[in-house]
Structure 1
Amino acid sequence: MLGFQQISGIKPAFSLDDYKIEEGFELKLIASESLLKAPVSLDFDNKGRMWVVEMIGYMPNLEGIGEEEPTGRISILEDRNKDGIADHAKVFLDKLVLPRAMAHVYGGLLYVDGPKLWFVEINNDKPGKKTLVDPVYAEGGNVEHSSNGLMMNIDNWIYNANYNFRYQLKNGKWLKEPTTDRGQWGITRDNFGRLYYNNNSTNLQGDFVLPNKVIRNKYFKPTVAEHQRLASNRVYPIHQTSVNRGYQTGVLDEKGLLKEVTAACGPLVYRGGAFPDAYNQNAFVCVPEANLIKRNILNFKGLQTTASQATEGREFIASTDEGFRPVNLFMGPDGAMYVVDMHRGIIQHKAYISQYLTEQLASKKLDTLQNAGRILKITSKTNKLNPTPDFTKATTGQLVALLSNSNGWLRDRAQQVLIQRKDLSVVNQLLTLAKSTNELATAIHALYVLDGLNALTFDNLSALVKQSKQPETIAHALGLLERFATPQRVVGMKAISTELLARNNETIDLYLSMALNPWLNLSETTFLPMLSEIEKKYATQKVVQEAITSGLDGKEAVYLASMNPSDFLKNNLTLTISNRQKKQLNSIYVAEVNAVDARTKGLKLFRTICATCHGADGKGIQDLAPPLKGSEYIDGSMKRLAAIILHGVSGPIHVNGKLYQLNNEMPALLNNKDISDQDIVDIIRYTQNALAKEGKGISTADVKKMRDKKPSGSGVLTEKQLLEEDFEK
């Protein structure tokens, strides 16, 4: 359902005493729980106003009960008295189930509600016509492992974290096509258009190549060109924090401080232009479990990217406030960095939360920190912020000028608004701009405005490639040339390729090797030798060899027979041919929805089968079933536990020294055809994670053994059998 209500706010109180920020920067609280609850993402509209996604239903208690209730919303925050602090909010959409992402695109709003991805038109700040873009967008897994991100890239495609599809609205129709599955929570990009992401235990990951360039060969999965760990996972908190695996050896140092990230998320490659030059295209990362934000320096050397800790032993922002939970970072229209602070005690989903962390949070009463939330703003003390233009009133000429602005947010939005306006009077101006040399990727922005306006031709792209001195622009242009591959243009493409090869530039050679694919289908004799020339030149560079494998889609055998490839490429091609024969596709071309992870599946099975009697929290229910939490049957033999689940229990039983008279037998799952051995394993692993003092493992083979080992007598276990039988035999 749609809602529209207004909320008046009060100025939030905020003390910087709990926060240490890098010298030269200021931290300011601009919105808090008087206006919002549980924020997880934000975006700015064309007027520069902030819109916030509020995931209010996430872990409403330590048991995670009630999270499926439609309590989420998307609100518009405003600063009406112009003092820099939001003082008013109005709800644009409400009654949402665990909303986790949104994006202002195509003049409307793309957002997530439960498993579905929607696009809604915006009419005077009210929702208009809704279009279902993808009914299974966030299907599977729990909220921490569901699709999110929704970031418009420079190539006019919308990319996600934790999902192997990308989206685009073209000629009135929504397109959905496979892409690499990236990260867990949050996604970002550099000026060139390469993507960066992470997962809980990995500070920063990224691709060495532009998206969808090295995956065109459906029977080959690159292992070098994408999904690379870029930086150390070391982290430097300034106080002891409660983390999920804090009891495990090596998680905390001798002072009780977290050593490596365990909940990294929400990365941002800063492109705002309002920080000192040394911070341009640094990768910032949220580390909510340690109450801090990291700064990584990206190093673009050759064809590979690396990253390093900006200041050894110290983080960009570190707090002693254990409620500080940064989960996402964004650039704003003014060039500032905005921090989405969920500001709550529990940030671990029930499917993964350990008994250790549950007890820690309860002892500190952090489980009571609910329904809060803050937006923080980071600015430089020395650099001025950009004035925020109103895109709804900007002229087309002003929009073109913004493509050269130092603030990447303004460049990105100007590109999209120009496409939406469909003003072809600026085509020549854009063509000139696309041939320029500009470190801010202005030429690439211009190129993709032309693409969005359907104003590109083989001739103007050819002229651009020949005249441009910027390898990154040429790399994008080569990809756009692919759609114009026809027999009549083979001679022209041969001339372009020959000239580009003579430049001896590794970036150009890399993208040429991938862009020749459609041309190979027209003339193998013309373009295979060019690929071979690139291969021999970069025989030791695995990124290039994977690019060639991708570009040779369907031509692997021909290349093997005629071009005498190096050993690395030969292995790639041989593997690809074998995969093709076996019909073994790269998994991104098979998976339609995210798989439910084992612990989430175990939680769901526990809630469905076990919680009715033992309680959702495992503490038991009076006169119905004893507690599981702290029980010797949970902390003891896993095979015995499997036997209990499979065969059931009858009669009185002692748990933790207390006698429980069971009025009914605990039902056995042995003959339930819908419950597999793997399901039993998942249930047990969930109980070990959530209820046991120290988790233990079990295999499906162990469960099968217990399935076949039926108790004597009635076939239902008694306490005597549980205590006397050796289940480990």
Structure 2
Amino acid sequence: MKFVFVPITIAFVFLCSCKPSYEETEIPLDTYTLEEGFTLKVLASEPLLKAPVAMDFDDKGRMWVAQMPGYMNDMQGSAENDPVGSIRIIEDLDHDGIADHAKIFLDSLVMPRALAHVYGGLLYAEPPYLWFVEIKDDKPANPVLVDSLYAVEGNPEHQPNGLLLNVDNWIYNAKSNFRYRRKNGVWEKEPTTFRGQWGISKDNFGRLYYNDNSRILLGDYVLPNSLISNKYSVPSSSVDNLITSDQRVYPLHATSVNRGYAKGVLNQDSILINATAACSPLVYRGGTFSDSYDQNVFVCLPEGNLIKRTILNFQGDSITARHAWKDKEFLASTDEGFRPVSIKNAPDGSIYIVDMHRGMIGHHAYLSPYLKKKTSKTRLDTITDFGRILRVKREGTPNLPLPDFKTTNGKELISLLSSDIGWIRDRAQHHLIHRKTDELISEVKNYLLNSAHSWGPLHALYVLEDWNELSFEFLTEVIKKGHQNSMAHALVLSKMYVSEENKDLAKDILDYVLEKDDITLDIYLSSILGDWIKLDSTKFTESLLTVLNRHPENPIVLEALVSGLDGIESGFIDNLDLGEKEFFAFKESIQNAIANENNNKLNPIFSVKSLNEDNRTSGAKLFSQICASCHGINGQGIEGLAPPLINSEHVDRTERLALIMLHGLEGPIHVNGQEYDLNLAMPGLIRNEEISDKDIADLIAYVTNAFSPTPRTLKEKRINELRNIKSSSGTEFTEDELLQFDVEKK
């Protein structure tokens, strides 16, 4: 029998041949509290959905949903590798605003976790692969393997996801240091900054935002890949910044959290204090909420059954954020099955919430004994067969018609670049890319130079970039005539046109930008100065000194300058008479890059080819293969075979645990005051040549996390040393010898 927190009425969809009737699931929302002035509606639910984790919209505004019903069906995650995942098209055939039909687009998938409508088809992730398929009559066709190493197989908490198409025509991911695009029919992949854990978003300017479990909002101060030209310099101030230091959350009730036993996690009423599972930030770009909500960030906190609203403050060279309220959340529920795991800007200007609606959302490799024990009482793990899509809409917002992108002509698409709704602007840009004509080139350029819209010209700029219709002369025109947002992007794009024939015009336009004395423009100007200095140091060094004098200690400006000076750092600093004490921070940054190059120490994004599996996940797999048959999958022990591991004093001591794993254990042993004399010797793993020091380290990471109050690790170097410590018999250790080892170590 399933344990359900909210009563539901389920009516299946029937399609009758004569007179179709559509009945939708009814979900009461009386346990949900939403900010005043907004409405909450369930658009789709079970049986149409089951464990949804990600979604996207097609040009018709239909929901396409990736589902992972194999994830955490039980405490052991036993169905994790079963091909039960799918991507479904969710439809509202009777047009009453609630979904009544689900069409399977792809099934028999293993843990699909991301999807995006791009290039007229669907890009989706099914680890370890990233696939692209064309769409013909709502069916997949002509599959293309975009990346065979997109993600390692295993724990979905630590695999790339997101597939966010940015204004720069590149597709970005969370938990990844690669980005993708298709140009002239060919897929491209290149390094980018490593970002976040689950979910990724963008603002109107094109900066990226992400987070991880315990940090509600992270983000980049600059445009992606704009300050990484120098492979021996690692940006630290301009990217991967903590946007808010306030990690406070305000659940409506006492929720079940993995480390609830630890000091400071819960308050005196057992209510969560700070974030422990933050994910999927969304910068609101819908245009239908009030102005005070423009580019606010909504963050999913499924462990607290809530969604937080955070307000961004743009400061030219940085971004800060504050939470909208100190004692409440934008949306919260007392339904512990409410698990918001993703939020999307919708075609109608509202936001859609993907509610996995699952009891256990933490991977089995990370579950603490505390939560396992609590779950045995609450039966939280029995909430498995649900899933919802909810919509938050501003009260009184009319139902806006969706443009028909299939029939809209090029000029109409250009006009859509000025839409207040970010989703429509994004789609208009993407469709224009595939409608190139000589007439449209002129129209797009005219719009870019003359539109008063703050953001539309950026979309136009990158339509031209994809068409290869930019030139240095035109970019200088954008810088002189365009909106400030377009100026910054034009500076970044001008890097492609550094040449001898352009240097005189470049000097004029760089001087023009410097006269603006604007910190944002100075950052992007700094990022390209080095390329012009390589061409003519006499002509352009003065511009660099102007920037330095203006921002001598600004770490982001310095990162931009060093990025542009790649390859000439040593000669440049030697020939530049800066004085002994002048510009110390700049010289130090240059010297660090030179030292890294001498030591062949690359920025890690240029050397990492794929993401390694998390150690606890690897350890969980090894435990299942090697240890579970005797100790039990839950570490409870098996009578006649092995003692329990849960809260065992031997698990809590990592070196003792390593000795047992390596060399084995013989004779009686005491666990929690009880003697276990099984007349069996546990064999050690030291004789198995396939078990490495890393494997032992991964096992220790998993076992201490799963069966003791405090997760611990042991370095591989120490494990290798412990291989040479022998028992008196030269084989298995006894309990007395293990205790004596502890005494001697002290």
Task: Compute the TM-score of the two structures, normalised by the length of structure 2.
Answer: 0.93
Q: Residue deviations 1:80-109, cap 9 Å, x none?
A: 111111100111011111111010000011
Aligned 8 A contact 1:650 1:665 in 2:
yes
More divergent stretch after superposition (588-597 vs 626-635): 626-635
**Higher deviation after alignment, 385-394 or 622-631:** 622-631
Give me the whole-angstrom Cα distance separating, in 2, the residues matched to 1:300 and 1:186. 22
Report the counterpart of residue 278 of structure 2 in structure 1.
264
Q: Find the counterpart in structure 2 of residue 225 from structure 1.
A: 238
Please state how far the C-alpha of 1:312 moved relative to its aligned partner. Answer: 1.8
From 356, 370, 380, give the equivalent of 1:342.
356
Other-structure match for 1:598: 615
Q: Could you tell me which of 718, 726, 729 is aligned with 1:710?
A: 726
Of 453, 456, 475, the residue aligned with 2:470 is 456
Aligned match for 1:665, one of 672, 681, 687: 681
Would you say the 8 A contact 2:305–2:338 is kept in 1?
A: yes
Is this contact kept in 1: 2:529–2:561, CA < 8 A?
no
* 1:326 equivalenced with 2:372 (yes/no): no
Amino acid at match of 1:545: L
Q: Residue 236 of structure 2 aligns to a residue in which SS? A: coil
Residues 453-474 of structure 1 show CA distances to partners (whole Å, capped at 9, x for unaligned) of 2222233222222222x22101
SS of equivalent to 2:211:
strand
1:253 to 243, 248, 267: 267
What does residue 434 of structure 1 align with? 448
Whether the 8 Å CA contact 2:418–2:453 is kept in 1: the answer is no
SS of structure 2 residue aligned to 1:574: helix
Q: Structure 1: how far apart are the matches of 2:280 and 2:71?
A: 17
Is residue 183 of structure 2 the alignment partner of residue 194 of structure 1? Answer: no
Q: How does 1:649-664 map to 2 (within 5 A)?
A: 649-651=665-667, 662=678
1:443 is displaced (CA, Å) by 0.8
Q: Is 1:680 the counterpart of 2:696 in the alignment?
A: yes
Cα deviation for residue 530 of structure 1 reads 1.1
Q: Which residue of 2 aligns with 1:99?
A: 112
Q: CA RMSD in A?
A: 2.2
Match of 1:383 among 393, 397, 404: 397
TM-aligned CA deviation for residue 621 of structure 1: 4.1
Structure 1 pair 341/7, CA: closer, same or farther in 2 (3 Å)? Answer: farther
| Paired residues of 1:141 and 1:595 also in contact (CA < 8 A) | no
Q: Which moved more, 1:356-365 or 1:625-634?
A: 625-634
Encode CA deviations 1:252-289: one digit per residue, 9 max, x unaligned.
12221111111000110000111111101001100000
Larger mean CA deviation between 159-168 and 487-496 belongs to 487-496
Shift of 1:694: 4.7
Pairwise mapping of residues 418-497 of structure 1 onto structure 2 (< 5 A)?
A: 418-436=432-450, 438=452, 440-468=454-482, 470-497=483-510
Structure 2 Cα separation of the partners of residues 135 and 728 of structure 1: 50
C-alpha deviation, 1:126, in angstroms: 0.3
Task: Report the Cα offset of residue 643 of structure 1.
Answer: 2.2
How far apart are residue 516 of structure 1 and its match? Answer: 3.0
CA displacement at 1:64 relative to structure 2: 1.5
Deviation readout 1:374-418 (Å, 9 max, x if unpaired): 100000014334322221122222211110000000000110011
Name the CA shift for 1:717/1:38 in 2 (closer, same or farther; >3 Å). same
Find 1:303's aligned residue among 317, 337, 362.
Answer: 317
* 2:646 alignment partner, one of 624, 629, 632: 629
Does structure 1 retain, via aligned residues, the 8 Å contact 2:530–2:561? no
Alpha carbons of 1:720 and 1:28: their partners in 2 closer, same or farther (altered >3 Å)? same
Judge conservation of contact 2:127–2:153 (CA < 8 Å) in 1. no
SS at match of 2:349: coil
Aligned CA distance change for structure 1 residues 174 and 621 (closer, same or farther; 3 Å): same
Residue matched to 1:14: 27
> Counterpart of 1:459 in 2: which secondary structure?
helix
Provide the C-alpha distance between the structure 1 equivalents of 2:442 and 2:561, rounded to a whole number of angstroms: 34
Please name the residue that 1:374 is paired with. Answer: 388
Query: Which position in structure 2 is the counterpart of 1:312?
Result: 326
C-alpha contact 1:471 1:507 (8 A) present in aligned 2: no
The residue that corresponds to 1:36 in the other structure is 49
Partner of 1:290: 304
Q: Distance in 2 between matches of 1:220 and 1:439?
A: 36
Find the aligned partners of 1:517 and 1:639 in 2 and give their Cα distance. Answer: 52
1:690 alignment counterpart: 706
CA 1:630/1:250 → structure 2, altered by over 3 Å: closer, same or farther?
A: closer
Q: Is the 8 A contact 2:243 2:320 kept in 1?
A: yes
Alpha-carbon contact 2:441-2:464 (below 8 Å) kept: yes
How far did 1:48 drift?
1.2
Determine if contact 1:234/1:259 at 8 Å carries over to the other structure: yes
Question: In 2, are the aligned partners of 1:103 and 1:110 still within 8 Å (CA)?
Answer: yes
SS in 2 for 1:634: coil
CA contact (8 A) 1:187 1:266 kept: yes
- Out of 58, 70, 74, the residue aligned to residue 57 of structure 1 is 70
The 3-state SS of whatever aligns with 2:205 is: coil
Q: Which residue of 2 aligns with 1:3?
A: none
199, 203, 206: which one aligns with 2:219: 206
Shift of 1:38: 0.7
2:411 and 2:443 in contact (8 A); partners too: no
SS at match of 2:180: strand
Alpha carbons of 1:174 and 1:702: their partners in 2 closer, same or farther (altered >3 Å)? closer
Any idea what SS the aligned residue of 1:521 has?
Answer: helix
Contact map agreement 1:412 1:445 (CA 8 A) in 2: yes
Matches within 5 A, 1:512-523: 512-523=525-536
CA apart distance, 1:360: 1.8
1:64-213 superposed matches below 5 A: 64-139=77-152, 142-213=155-226
Structure 1 counterpart of 2:556: 543
- Of 541-550 and 204-213, more deviation after overlay is shown by 541-550
Instruction: Using the TM superposition, give the Cα deviation of residue 698 of structure 1 relative to its aligned residue in structure 2, in angstroms.
Output: 4.6
1:557 is the counterpart of 2:573:
no
Q: Counterpart of 1:570? A: 587
Three-state SS of the structure 1 residue aligned to 2:282 is strand
Q: CA deviation at 1:517?
A: 3.7
- Alpha-carbon shift at residue 623 of structure 1 (Å): 4.6
Which 5+ residue runs of structure 2 have no aligned equivalent? 1-12, 16-21
Q: 1:33 to 1:725 in 2, by over 3 A?
A: same
Q: Tell me which residue corresponds to 2:662.
A: 646
Whole-angstrom distance in 2 between the partners of 1:616 and 1:174:
43
- Give unmatched runs, 5+ long, in structure 1: 1-5
Q: CA deviation at 1:350?
A: 1.4
Matched, 1:584 2:601: yes
The answer as to 2:372 corresponding to 1:355 is: no
1:277 aligns with 2:291: yes
**Paired amino acid for 1:544:** V
